[in-house]
């Protein structure tokens, strides 16, 4: 439910805030984008300090939603396409990582990261699926969220390059907390009490496999989804009267010899 219901707010921003209140949305755009990027960095920093597995994963969503909101309110085609695609991709990656973490917690009976260690030795399939879903949350290239996050950053950079630069720093922080989580939980010697953790069974793999497959497929070939998203984004941009920023073109400086030739010989 969390993977779906938390998209209602961002959908409302895209569908109603912009289209019903285009002028106020444009006026407050710099403030909203700034707050969104602050949310991206704040969520990542707070996630690093968590000792509860579920709380850590929950704070990653705060960081991701900062990207989605920034992409919506920069009001560029790439930003809004990326945000809309991000809603789908975040739903897939969040559902996968929460589901697999839930399977693990149900087996061990604890949400504390300190109680884990060496899980990949006793449950390799569970560890492998957790790795894929965790790497999806940090937008690893080749997985679905990478495309959407890249589009959001491109759209943000074209209008607010400094905000995009701060957004990139959050990507580094996200890699820190997810790799730290995987290292503490899955690698190392098998901690006491973890030897009884069983691997995923058939019905659990049936639930997880479609999510992992979609993360892989959409990471390589997102075009079918973007073909649906892009016309809606173009319609929104037209409705609110916004256009992508014109690219800056550098004017070439003529060579010294060429300028003298154009002026003709000196007497």
Q: Compute and round to an integer the Cα radius of gyration of the chain.
A: 23
Distance, in Å, from the CA atom of 40 to the CA atom of 56, rounded to the nearest integer, reads 14
Vertex 160 angle, CA 167 and 23, to 5°: 120
Tens-level pLDDT at each residue, the chain (267 residues): 555 666 778 888 888 888 889 899 899 999 999 999 999 999 999 998 899 999 999 888 888 889 999 999 999 999 999 999 999 999 999 999 999 999 999 999 889 999 999 999 999 999 999 999 999 998 899 999 999 999 999 999 989 999 999 988 888 888 888 999 999 999 989 888 888 888 999 999 999 999 999 999 999 999 999 999 999 999 989 888 888 887 665 555 555 555 455 455 554
Distance, in Å, from the CA atom of 113 to the CA atom of 125, rounded to the nearest integer, reads 19
Q: How far apart are the first and last CA of the chain?
A: 83
Question: What is the domain partition of the chain in residue ranges?
Answer: 2-263
């Amino acid at each position: 439910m969390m993977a779906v219901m938390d998209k209602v707010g961002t959908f409302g921003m895209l569908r109603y805030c912009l289209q019903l209140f285009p002028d106020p949305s444009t006026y407050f755009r710099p403030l909203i984008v700034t707050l969104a990027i602050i949310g991206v960095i704040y969520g990542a920093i707070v996630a690093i300090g968590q000792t509860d597995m579920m709380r850590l994963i929950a704070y990653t969503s705060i960081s991701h939603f900062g990207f989605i909101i920034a992409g919506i309110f920069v009001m560029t085609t790439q930003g809004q396409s990326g945000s809309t695609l991000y809603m789908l991709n975040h739903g897939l990656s969040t559902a996968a990582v929460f589901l697999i973490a839930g399977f693990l917690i149900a087996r061990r009976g604890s949400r504390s990261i300190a109680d884990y260690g060496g899980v990949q030795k006793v449950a390799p399939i569970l560890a492998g699926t957790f790795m894929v879903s965790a790497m999806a949350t940090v937008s690893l290239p080749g997985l679905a969220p990478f495309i959407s996050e890249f589009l959001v950053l491109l759209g943000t950079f074209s209008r607010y390059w400094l905000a995009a630069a701060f957004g990139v720093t959050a990507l580094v922080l996200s890699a820190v907390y997810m790799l730290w989580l995987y290292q503490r939980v899955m690698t190392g010697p098998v901690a006491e009490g973890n030897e009884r953790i069983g691997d995923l069974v058939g019905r659990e793999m049936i639930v997880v496999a479609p999510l992992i497959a979609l993360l892989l497929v959409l990471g390589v070939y997102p075009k079918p989804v973007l073909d649906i998203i892009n016309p809606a984004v173009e319609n929104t941009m037209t409705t609110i009267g916004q256009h992508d920023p014109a690219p800056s073109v550098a004017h070439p400086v003529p060579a010294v010899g060429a300028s003298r030739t154009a002026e003709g010989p000196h007497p």
